[in-house]
C-alpha cells in the first residue's frame, strides 16, 4: 500500500461532503461585518486595547505558563472571578479558556453517575459532546418545550431513575436567535429538585440589567449554573461559569478540563474585566444594537420572512447549495454574510445567519436588506 492510499477514506469523505454542498474551508474577513459575534463592537475597541496594553506594560504575562492548580493561577484570574461573581450575582465564578471547553467541563463533571441530563435538541454542540462524554444518562427533547422536559424527567423517574436531573438550555439560541422559556424551565427544575444549567453565550452583554443576561434573575440559586462567554459581546476570549460556591469548589477539585489545562491568558482576564466595566458604563451600546435589531426586523418582513427579534437573524433557505450561493452573492456585494449548513443546523434548514453588531450602522443594515431583497428573488 502506498503512503497516499492511507488518505483514501478521508478524501472520499471530503468528496461526499462536496457533493452535498457541505464541504467547508477557511476564508478571511472581508466586507461589512454581518457574521461575527462581536455584538457590542468591543473586540477592536480602544478602551479594551488600552486596558490590555497597560497590563502588559505593568508586567502582566502573555501566557499563564501552567494550569490554575500549579503556577498558572494569576492574580488577574482571581480578580476577574471575584468581579464576575459580583456582577452576575453568583456566589462564585470560574474562568475557562473558551465556551466550548466550559460547557464540556461542566457536563462531564457536575452531573453524576445515576443522574439525568435533559438537553434541548438545538443546544450547542459543546453541550451535546459534554453530555455524551459524561457519566449521566442523556435524553434530548423538543426545542424550547418545557412540557417535554417535564415529561422526560417523569419518564426517567418512572423507569427507576434516582439521581438528580440536569436541565440544559441556551438562553438565546445561536442559530435560530430565539429565547428559551427560562421561567418555565426553572419551574420544572424546582418541581423535580433538579438543576438548571443555562448557556448565556449569546445573551451576555446584550440582555438583562447592564447586560447580565436573560437568566440574571436566576443567578445565586443553589440549583442554577450559568455560562457566560467572553468571546462574543465581551469582545475577548474565554468563558465564565457562575455557580454556588460548593459546585465551584467541586469543579476545581474534580474537573479534568480545569485541572489539567493551561490557564487562559491573564491578558484575557484583564480584557474581560474591562468589558464588564464597559457594560455598566456604556448602556448606549445595547440601545444602539436594539435599534439595529428593529431595523433588520423590518427588512426581514419586507422579503416575507419572520424576524427573530434578536441580534441573531436566521433566514431559512433550505437547500445547501442555494444557501451558499446566496451568501456568496451577498459577499460579492460587500456584505460578510455566511451560509450555515448541516450538521450545524438540522437537515433541510440551511440558512443565512445574519448577525447584527455595532461594527455596522443603520445605513449598512438598510443596504444589506436592499441587496438581500434583490438576491432573494433570483
Element (H, E) at 52: helix 46-57
Cell of 203: 445573551
Q: Using H for helix, E for strand and C for coil, what is the string for 196-258?
A: EEEECCCCCCCCCHHHCCCCHHHCCCCCEEEEEECCCCCCCCCEEEEECHHHHHHHHHHCHHH
Taking CA 218 as the corner, what is the angle to CA 213 and CA 221, rounded to the nearest 5 degrees?
135
Record the cell numbers describing residue 243, joined without a space. Answer: 455557580
CA distance 235 to 360: 15
Angle between helices 75-88 and 266-281 (to 10 degrees): 30
Where in the sequence numbering do the catalytic residues fall? 37, 124, 170, 174, 199, 202, 232
Instruction: For residue 319, give the H/E element and its range.
Output: none
**Nearest CA among 135, 143, 196 for reference residue 165:** 196
d(CA 309, CA 311): 7
Amino acid at each position: 500500500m502506498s503512503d497516499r492510499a492511507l488518505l483514501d477514506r478521508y478524501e472520499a469523505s471530503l468528496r461526499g461532503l462536496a457533493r452535498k454542498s457541505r464541504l467547508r474551508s477557511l476564508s478571511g474577513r472581508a466586507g461589512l461585518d454581518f457574521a461575527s459575534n462581536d455584538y457590542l463592537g468591543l473586540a477592536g475597541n480602544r478602551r479594551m486595547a488600552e486596558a490590555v496594553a497597560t497590563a502588559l506594560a505593568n508586567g502582566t504575562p502573555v501566557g499563564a505558563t501552567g494550569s490554575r492548580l500549579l503556577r498558572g493561577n494569576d492574580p488577574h484570574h482571581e480578580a476577574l472571578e471575584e468581579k464576575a461573581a459580583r456582577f452576575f450575582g453568583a456566589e462564585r465564578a470560574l474562568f475557562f479558556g473558551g465556551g466550548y471547553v466550559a460547557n464540556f467541563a461542566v457536563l462531564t463533571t457536575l452531573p453524576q453517575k445515576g443522574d439525568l441530563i435533559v438537553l434541548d435538541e438545538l443546544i450547542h454542540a459543546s453541550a451535546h459532546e459534554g453530555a455524551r462524554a459524561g457519566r449521566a444518562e442523556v435524553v434530548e427533547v423538543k426545542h424550547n418545550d418545557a412540557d417535554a422536559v417535564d415529561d422526560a424527567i417523569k419518564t426517567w423517574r418512572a423507569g427507576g431513575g434516582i439521581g438528580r436531573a440536569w436541565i440544559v438550555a441556551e438562553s438565546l439560541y445561536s442559530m435560530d436567535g430565539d429565547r428559551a422559556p427560562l421561567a418555565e424551565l426553572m419551574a420544572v427544575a424546582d418541581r423535580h429538585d433538579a438543576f438548571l444549567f443555562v448557556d448565556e453565550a449569546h445573551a451576555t452583554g446584550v440582555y438583562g440589567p447592564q447586560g447580565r443576561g436573560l437568566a440574571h434573575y436566576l443567578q445565586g440559586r443553589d440549583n442554577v449554573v450559568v455560562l457566560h462567554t467572553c468571546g462574543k459581546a465581551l469582545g475577548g476570549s474565554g468563558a465564565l461559569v457562575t455557580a454556588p460556591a460548593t459546585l465551584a469548589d467541586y469543579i476545581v477539585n474534580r474537573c479534568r478540563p480545569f485541572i489539567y489545562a493551561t490557564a487562559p491568558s491573564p491578558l484575557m482576564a484583564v480584557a474581560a474585566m474591562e468589558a464588564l466595566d464597559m457594560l455598566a458604563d456604556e448602556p448606549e451600546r445595547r440601545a444602539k444594537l436594539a435599534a439595529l435589531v428593529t431595523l433588520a426586523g423590518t427588512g426581514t418582513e419586507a422579503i416575507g420572512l419572520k424576524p427573530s427579534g434578536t441580534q441573531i437573524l436566521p433566514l431559512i433557505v433550505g437547500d445547501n447549495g442555494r444557501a451558499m450561493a446566496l451568501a456568496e452573492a451577498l459577499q460579492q456585494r460587500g456584505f460578510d454574510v455566511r451560509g450555515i449548513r448541516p450538521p450545524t443546523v438540522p437537515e433541510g434548514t440551511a440558512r443565512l445567519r445574519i448577525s447584527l453588531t455595532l461594527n455596522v450602522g443603520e445605513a449598512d443594515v438598510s443596504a444589506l436588506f436592499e441587496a438581500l431583497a434583490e438576491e432573494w428573488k433570483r
